[in-house]
């Protein structure tokens, strides 16, 4: 299909339903705090934002929201209809947004790519954008909770420590998702471990392991008593867990999680049952795990359902409140 026939125009009020539908279908509405209709209204009411549309035979095939804050230009909601990706429409709409901002005298265009959408970085690089070594910081002014967790900025984090003293009867769970495989990662490389840790832990502010140097991290993950297991779905890593028997007869489920794009398929209970099965085979006296108020709200009830009992609670500062924080994302 030729893109010559595709027309560039500005958003009109009648477009709302089609635009919102496009953003949903492109996976841009994953944060429940983002309300597409409010975002459109707010952008247009402000007077320094606009929404560009590419239309092909009365069908909206691409969008971009752009604006400037008096210093930099920004672009949001870049989306190309799924059946029309790879035809140059993404390049065309981003170039159109650049032209508008250039004409308004804006010297630099910036954009944010959600941590779980790293695939799109390649697209922007192809268009001449570069990844900047900058920390993105944010604070909600509407009192809404932070993405992912149920924690507000000023609250301390509560860690709940849980234990299990007897081997539970574990359910035999089979994930509904096809083509999955669970494998122990023997002698896992530090780079692959760092990837897993970030891909799983980023929405939940996992930072402890990011503070370690490569040799410090290698010493832990290559210890004989530490085992890392990776869950693959369709050949792609979808989650992992790490078992730590260095303090036997206590054995800890040190890390456990599913990557954001694989949450919601029932993989959590499956992975937990597999982790517990392996841990009890090592014959510990106690199996330990901890979870905090930054974690997925379902984590604590899931651990309790499998037989863990809380034995301690502690308040700790949130990662962003500590001097050595290594948050490179929000």
Positions that interact with ligand COA (CB under 6 A): 26-28, 78-80, 85-91, 113, 117, 119-120, 122-123, 126
Q: How far is the CB of 86 from ligand COA (least distance, A)?
A: 5
Closest CA to 64 of 128, 126, 2, 74: 74
Closer to ligand COA at the Cβ: 119 or 186? 119
Query: What distance in Å separates the CA atoms of residue 12 and residue 179, rounded to the nearest whole number?
Result: 44
C-alpha torsion angle, residues 113, 114, 120, 125 (rounded to 10)? 30
Burial class (CB in 10 A: 0-12, 13-18, 19+), 134: exposed
Q: How far is the CB of 304 from ligand COA (least distance, A)?
A: 36
Q: How far is the CB of 26 from ligand COA (least distance, A)?
A: 4
What is the number of other CB atoms lying within 10 angstroms of the CB of residue 107?
Answer: 10
* CB under 8 A, 24+ apart: contacts of 23-27: 23/63, 23/77, 23/79, 25/81, 25/82, 26/79, 26/80, 26/81, 26/82, 27/117
Q: How far is the CB of 131 from ligand COA (least distance, A)?
A: 13
Closer to ligand COA at the Cβ: 94 or 238? 94
Q: Point out the residue whose Cβ comes nearest to ligand COA.
A: 90
Closer to ligand COA at the Cβ: 105 or 122? 122
Closer to ligand COA at the Cβ: 92 or 100? 92
**Backbone phi and psi for residue 279, each to the nearest 5 degrees, phi listed first:** -65, -45
Closer to ligand COA at the Cβ: 83 or 171? 83
Query: What distance in Å separates the CA atoms of residue 194 and residue 196, rounded to the nearest whole number?
Result: 6
Q: How far is the CB of 21 from ligand COA (least distance, A)?
A: 13
Q: What is the DSSP string of 156-172?
A: PEEEEEEEE-S------
Closer to ligand COA at the Cβ: 85 or 110? 85
Q: How far is the CB of 32 from ligand COA (least distance, A)?
A: 17
Closer to ligand COA at the Cβ: 123 or 320? 123
Q: How far is the CB of 267 from ligand COA (least distance, A)?
A: 23
- Which two structure tokens, joined as six digits, stand for 230? 């990776």
């Amino acid at each position: 299909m030729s893109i010559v026939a595709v027309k560039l125009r500005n958003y009109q009020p009648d477009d709302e339903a089609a635009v919102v539908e496009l953003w949903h279908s492109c996976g841009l509405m994953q944060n429940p705090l983002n309300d597409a209709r409010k975002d459109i209204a707010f952008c247009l009411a402000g007077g320094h934002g606009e929404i560009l549309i590419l239309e092909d035979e009365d069908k909206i095939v691409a969008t971009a929201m752009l604006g400037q804050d008096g210093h930099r230009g920004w672009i949001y909601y870049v989306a190309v209809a799924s059946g029309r990706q790879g035809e140059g429409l993404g390049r065309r709409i981003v170039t159109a947004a650049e032209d508008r901002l250039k004409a308004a005298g804006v010297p630099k265009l910036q954009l944010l790519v959600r941590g779980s959408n790293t695939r799109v970085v390649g697209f922007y690089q192809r268009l001449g954008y570069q990844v900047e070594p900058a920390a993105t910081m944010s604070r909600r002014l509407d009192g809404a909770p932070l993405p992912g967790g149920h924690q507000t900025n000023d609250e301390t984090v509560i860690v709940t420590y849980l234990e299990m003293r007897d081997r539970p009867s574990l359910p035999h769970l089979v994930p509904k998702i096809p083509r999955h495989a669970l494998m122990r990662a023997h002698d896992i490389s530090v780079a692959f471990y760092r990837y897993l840790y970030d891909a799983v832990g980023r929405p939940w502010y996992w930072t402890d392991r990011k503070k370690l140097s490569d040799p410090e991290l290698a010493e832990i993950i290559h210890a004989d008593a530490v085992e890392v297991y990776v869950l693959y779905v369709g050949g792609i890593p979808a989650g992992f867990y790490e078992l730590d028997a260095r303090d036997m007869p206590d054995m800890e489920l040190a890390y456990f999680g599913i990557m954001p794009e694989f949450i919601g398929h029932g993989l959590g209970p499956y992975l937990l049952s597999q982790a517990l099965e392996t841990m009890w085979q090592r014959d510990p006296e106690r199996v330990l795990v901890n979870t905090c108020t930054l974690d997925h709200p379902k984590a604590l009830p899931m651990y309790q359902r499998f037989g863990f009992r809380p034995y301690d609670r502690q308040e700790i500062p949130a990662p962003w409140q500590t001097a050595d924080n290594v948050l490179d994302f929000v």
